[in-house]
Amino acid sequence: MRAKSLLALVLTLAVGDCTWVSVSPEAQQHGVIALSLDRVANCRQLSQIQVSVANTVGVFKRMPSDVEHDLTNLAINEAAKSDADTVAALSPVKDGAQTFGIYQCLKTRGQRAAAPAASTHNPAVKTTPYRPPLG
């Protein structure tokens, strides 16, 4: 009986604090981020996606924060496959599933900012147009 209790404790500790989904190299390269819904109000929504992960392993329930972390990482990975740079949760987590909005909040990848039009030429002031890194 003691061995079963010890095994149950070890499994609970091992499974209780595990995240299984990591951000893909593609999502890292494109800098896809997760924001709260109120922070994407001025962004263009490209699509919605529902992602899901296991919220229990056998009879053991996973930590809610780990489930939420995995769901967010899945949404980020999916956003990297489109021209999106941001995800935001549209629903709460329910039974290991959640709906995310996929957004374009920044300029299209590879697009450079246009140089500002010079209104007056002043030789004492030198300006350089901002060029965001390609990425």
Q: Which residue would you say has higher pLDDT here, 135 or 118? A: 135
Say what the pLDDT of residue 109 is: 46
Say what the pLDDT of residue 20 is: 83
Sign for the pseudo-dihedral over CA of 60, 63, 67, 69:
negative
| Length in residues, the chain | 135
Q: Is the pLDDT of residue 127 over 50?
A: yes
Q: What is the pLDDT of residues 25-71, one digit of tens each?
A: 999 998 999 999 999 999 999 999 999 999 888 888 899 999 999 99
Q: Is the pLDDT of residue 10 over 50?
A: no
Q: Closest Cα to residue 101, out of 85, 116, 122, 113?
A: 85
Give the chain's mean pLDDT.
Answer: 78
